[in-house]
Structure 1
Amino acid sequence: MGCNRNCGLIAGAVIGAVLAVFGGILMPVGDMLIEKTIKKEVVLEEGTIAFKNWVKTGTDVYRQFWIFDVQNPDEVTVNSSKIKVKQRGPYTYRVRYLAKENITQDPETHTVSFLQPNGAIFEPSLSVGTEDDTFTILNLAVAAAPQLYPNTFMQGILNSFIKKSKSSMFQNRTLKELLWGYTDPFLNLVPYPITTTIGVFYPVNGF
C-alpha cells in the first residue's frame, strides 16, 4: 500500500512536471502561431479575410422616410390659412454599400486608397407606396427668394423668373424627386452659376 501510494505520488509529480514542460514550450509556440495568424489575416492585403470583409460588407442597412404632404395649398396661398399636413410613410430603402473600387496599395506608406460608391434600393414590400407617389410640398426656392434678396428691384426680377417658369409657393413632386433630386425650373432660369438641382440626398444616389 505504501509503495502504491509513493508510486502514485511520484507518477503524479512526473506527469505534472512533463505537463509543465510541455506547457512552457507550447504556450509560447501557441502565442506565436496566434500572433502570426492575426498578422496574416488582419492586414489589409489582397487574399486575407480582413481584406475580403473590408472590400464588401455583407450587412444590409435600411432607411425609412415619412413625408409631410400639404393638404390645403390654395387656402394657404390665397387666404394665408394655416398649413394642414398629412404624414405619409414609411418609404423604405435598402442602403447598399457597394464593393470598394480602384483599390491601390502603397507599400512605402503602408496605406490603401479606394473609391466607395454607394446608393439605395427601394423596398416596396416595406413601404406604403412607390417612388412615384406624389406629394404637395413647399417650393423652397420660391419661398426663400424674397428672404435672400429683400431688395425691391431684385425681387421684381426674381418674380419675373418665377412667373416665366410657372412656379408657385407649393409644388408637386414624387418621392424619388424629393430624395434624389430634380431640376428646379425657377432656378434653371436664374442667370447665375448656382445649383439648379434640389434633393435631400442629391447627388448621393444615382439610381
Structure 2
Amino acid sequence: MSRSIKCSVFFLVLGSVLIILGCVLIPVFHNMIHDEIKTQIPLKVGSKSYNAWLDPPVPIYFQVWVFDLVNPLEVTQQGATPAVIQKGPYSYREHRQKVNITFFDNGTVAYREKRSFTFDREMSVGPENDTFTTVNLPMITIAELIRFEYGWLQEFVDALLEAAGDAELFLELSIADILWGYEDALLKTVKGIAEKFNHTLPDEFGLFYNTNGSDDGVYTIFTGSDVQGVEKFNLIDKWNSKTSLGYWNTALCDMINGTDGTMFPPFIEKSEKLFIFSTDICRSIYATYESEIKLKGIDLYHFTVPPRVFETASLNENNAGFCSPAGNCLPSGVLNISVCKSGAPVVISNPHFLQADKKVIDGVIGMHPNKEEHQTVLDVDPLTGVVMNAQKKLQLNAYLQKVNNFKSTENIKDVFFPIMWLNESALIDDKSANEYKSSLMTPIKITQAVQYGLIVIGAFLFICALAFLIKHKMAHKKADVLVDIPNERLTNDRLPTERTNLIQS
C-alpha cells in the first residue's frame, strides 16, 4: 500500500472520529450547561440570582394614560354615548424592595415587597396635577352598594348626596388624586350608614390608594432548591398564607397559579403556558408563545396573553367562576373585580378594550384598540426563565348602570366607562444584557463552536480522504484498461497476415 493511500485512510478514520466526537459532545455540553443553570438559579443568600431577586437591577416604569370625558352633561342629561380623549403618558419610576424575608426547610421563602413610585416629569406629557373629567367612583360605589336595598333607603342616600354637594356622576380630578387618593366628603358622610349594612368605607379614595410605599401581601414562593427542584423556581406556593383567593365562584378560577411575572422556571418550551398571578386584577392569567425575537443580541421567546383568557363563560367555560355575582357574566374582554375592591364597580380590561366584545368597544367614542400598543407581552430567555422585557398593560373601567332613585343615573346607558390604562414595564438595560451574554451566552457559543467545529473539520477530512481514495481507485482502473488495449490490437493485426499465408500455401 502506497504512502498516499495510507494517509488517505488515516484522514478518513480521523474525520470519522471527529464527526462522532462532535456529535457526542452535543448532548454532553447541553447537559453541562443545564447542570450549571440548575446550580446558579436557586435562591440562596449571597448568590447572584438572590441579589438580582432581592434588588432588581432593571429599571421599572409605571406609566398612566387617562381618559378625559368631553361630554359629561350630554351623558347624564340626554343619555349620550361617552366621548373621551386620551391623555398621557404620566410616568413614574417604580422601586421595589423585598422585606421580612424568611427561608423554610421545605424549599420555600416568604417575603413582602414594598413598592414606591416617584413621578418622572421628563417622561410625562404634563405635571402630576393635570386634571381631567372622569367618573365619580365613590358616588357610584355607594349607589352600587344599595342597588338592591329598599327604595326609601335609596331615596334617603340620594338626598344625602345632594346635601353633601357630591351627587354628580362625573367630576374633575388631578392625576395624583385619582391614583394615590384624595379626601372625599361623601365617603365621610355615608361611612356610618355603610357600616350598618356591613360595608367598610375609607375616608379617602384612589385607584391605588395606600399602594405607594406599601406592599400587597405576604408571598411564599419556591426557591428552586434541591428540596423541590428548579421546575418550581419562583412559583407561588401561598399568598397571605392562602393557597386560593376566596374571591371567585369555582376552585379553578380561585387558584393562585404561576409566578409574579418577573422570572419563571428555566428551560421553557414553546408549548408551555406561562402563568402569572397579579393582585391588581385579583386572579391568575397566562401567556402563550407567539414568536422568537432578538433583544440586545439575546434570543428570546415572545409570549402574549391570548384573547381566550378574558372570554365570556359561554365561549370559555373555564371562566364561569369569574361571573360575579354567580351567573352574572360580562361580555368577552372585561372582568368585574368588585369582589376584591370593597364593592366598587371596577371592571378591568386590556387598554382601549383590545380583544373585547364589539359592543363594549362601541359603547365609548374614542376607543382605538391596537395589538402592538395595547397587548401585554413577556420576552423570556428560554434557558434561564428570566424575563428580559415585560409590559403589563391594564385598563381600569367603571361599570355605569342606572340605579333606581338616583337622579344622576336615571338617564344614562349601561356602559363600561374607561378611566385610565397603565403600562408597568421593565426592559433589560445594556449593562445587564452584556453581563448576561458574557456569563451565559459566551460559554454556550464556545461549546457550540467546539462541537460544530469538530463536526465540520471531521466532515472536511472525511470527504477529502474519501474523494482521494475514489479518484485513486478510478485512476488505477483506467490504467489497467490501457494496459489491456495493445494486446487486443496485436491479436487483431495478426489475423490478416496468417489468412494470407494460408491462401498462398
1:45 and 2:44 equivalent? yes
> What is aligned with 1:202?
209
Q: Which residues in structure 2 correspond to 1:53-72 (within 5 Å)?
A: 53-55=52-54, 56=56, 58-69=58-69
The one-letter code matched in structure 2 to 1:113 is A
Higher-Rg member (1/2): 2
Task: Identify which of 121, 126, 131 aligns with 1:129.
Answer: 126
Identity %: 24
Give the structure 2 partner of residue 177 of structure 1: 177
Which one of 93, 97, 100 corresponds to residue 99 of structure 1?
97
- Over 3 Å counting, the alpha-carbon distance change for 1:30 and 1:85 in structure 2 is closer
Summarize the Cα distance change of 1:86–1:14 in structure 2 as closer, same or farther, 3 Å threshold. Answer: closer
What stretches of structure 1 of length at least 5 have no aligned partner?
none
What code does the residue aligned with 1:104 have?
Answer: T
Partner SS, residue 186 of structure 2: helix
Matched residues in 2 for 1:33 and 1:137: separation? 58
User: Could you report, residue by residue, the CA deviation over 1:147-184 in whole angstroms, capped at 9, with x for unpaired residues?
Assistant: 62553255336524652x44341443221111122232
SS in 2 for 1:104: strand
TM-score, reference length from structure 2: 0.33
- 5+ long unaligned stretches in structure 2: 215-505
Note closer, same or farther for the CA distance 1:22–1:69 as it changes in structure 2 (3 Å cut): closer
Cα 1:47–1:24 change in 2 (3 A) is farther
Instruction: Determine the C-alpha separation between the residues in 2 that align with 1:87 and 1:24.
Output: 61
Instruction: Give how far 1:110 is off.
Output: 0.6
- Greater share of helix residues, 1 or 2? 1
What CA distance in whole angstroms lies between the structure 2 residues aligned with 1:42 and 1:68?
Answer: 46
- Structure 1 residue 203: Cα displacement: 3.1
- 133-142 or 13-22: which moved more? 13-22
Query: CA, structure 1 residues 125+82, in 2 after alignment: closer, same or farther (shift >3 Å)?
Result: farther
The TM-score with structure 1 as length reference comes to 0.71
Distance 1:118 1:4 in 2: 77
Report the Cα offset of residue 19 of structure 1.
Answer: 5.4
Partner SS state of residue 178, structure 1: helix
Looking at structure 1, the residues matched to 142 and 24 of structure 2 have their Cα atoms a distance apart, in angstroms, of: 78
Q: Secondary structure at the match of 1:177?
A: helix
1:90 equivalent to 2:101? Answer: no
**27 and 141 in structure 1: CA distance in 2 versus 1, 3 angstrom threshold:** closer
Provide closer, same or farther for how the CA distance between residues 22 and 134 of structure 1 changes in structure 2, counting only shifts above 3 A.
closer
| Cα pair distance change 1:7/1:100, threshold 3 Å | same
Give the 3-state SS of the residue equivalent to 2:97 in structure 1: coil
Is 1:113 the counterpart of 2:120 in the alignment? no
Cα–Cα, structure 1 residues 146 and 27, in superposed 2: closer, same or farther, change >3 Å? closer
CA distance in 1, matches of 2:125, 2:30: 55
CA contact (8 A) 1:70 1:137 kept: no
What is the Cα deviation at residue 89 of structure 1? 1.1
Determine if contact 1:93/1:120 at 8 Å carries over to the other structure. Answer: no
State the partner residue of 2:425: none
CA distance in 2, matches of 1:44, 1:100: 13
**Helix, strand or coil at the partner of 1:99:** strand
Question: Helix, strand or coil for the counterpart of 2:117?
Answer: strand
Which consecutive aligned stretches of 4+ in structure 1 deviate over 6 angstroms post-superposition? 20-29
**Cα RMSD, aligned residues only:** 3.8
2-structure distance, mates of 1:92, 1:201: 15
> What is the SS of the residue equivalent to 1:100?
strand
Give 1:109 deviation, angstroms. Answer: 0.5
For these two proteins, the number of residue pairs brought into alignment is 201
Equivalent residues of 2:70, 2:85 under 8 A apart: no
Name which structure has the greater RCO, CA cutoff 8 Å, separation 6+.
Answer: 2
